[in-house]
A = this chain, B = another copy of it.
Amino acid sequence: MRDAYHEELDSIGDSLVEMARLAGSALGRATTALLDADLALAESVIASDEKINELHHELENRAIDLLARQQPVATDLRIVVTSLRMSADLERCGDLARHVAKVARLRYPESAVPRDLHATLLEMGQLAQRLVAKAALVIATKDVDKALELEQDDDAIDALHRELFAHLIDERWHHGIETAVDVTLVGRYYERFADHAVSVAKRVVYLVTGEHVAEFVAATEAAESVRD
């Protein structure tokens, strides 16, 4: 049987997974709200961000309480401190989903983004959602290989982000400045959302290996080159 302390650590992990799930769901709905100009859905994303913020504050309080009562050291201490950071990342993901929903709400009943960009933005949204789902899995399983995949997944989002900018500055752009501003901001929100998901995964790598991702990858490659 696990002791109370480790049960509490597990429950902090569960909260992080739940926050990631909520953030992913929020971003999915925000993307639909944006593309379909769905006001009710946008409002639901904006309202539900409160839930993620509450989980974040609860988690912070529980983590600080755990530090005070149990005074963990070494790995256990690192788990608690890292959980605080992951919680901050996921709280921010929730904010960014809310920002996307707010753009959708602002332009209702129009869609804030022109039809010829829908496919790119839908793909950015789906990729970002997949990233945070993978981050949740990484938190739950501590799977370092899976965690390392997130940086490559993020490259795909960066590529879509560049594609978006290429559309914007193409001389055939005829949707005006206001729409260009909206698309610029929305693109940035998706990109930052994905960055925070990657950051969560990197923190798990650090937790498991005691090394930051770049060091870990370098060490692994060095070990592999010796074996070759």
- B-binding residues in A (CB < 8 A): 64, 67-68, 71, 73-74, 77-78, 81, 84-85, 88, 165, 168-169, 173, 177-178, 180-181, 184-185, 188
Contact = CB atoms under 8 A, between A and B. Distances in A.
A170 to B, nearest CB: 9
A215 to B, nearest CB: 12
Number of copies: 2
Contact of A78 (B64, B74, B169, B185): B64
Contacts of A180: 177, 180-181, 184
9 contacts: A64-B77, A67-B67, A68-B73, A68-B74, A81-B84, A84-B85, A168-B178, A177-B177, A184-B184
A147 to B, nearest CB: 20
Contacts of A81: 64, 67, 84
A174 to B, nearest CB: 10
A169 B188 contact: no
B185 A177 contact: no
A94 B67 CA distance: 29
Contact of A184 (B67, B173, B181): B181
Contacts of A88: 85, 88
Given A169-B181, A178-B169, A180-B177, A68 B77 contact: yes
Contacts of A181: 165, 168-169, 180-181, 184
Contact of A77 (B67, B73, B74, B177): B67
Given A68-B77, A84-B85, 7 more contacts: A64-B78, A68-B73, A71-B73, A165-B181, A168-B178, A177-B177, A184-B185
A207 to B, nearest CB: 12
Closest 5 CB pairs of A and B: A71-B71, A184-B184, A169-B178, A68-B73, A181-B184
Nearest to A71: B71
Nearest to A164: B181
A26 B85 CA distance: 25
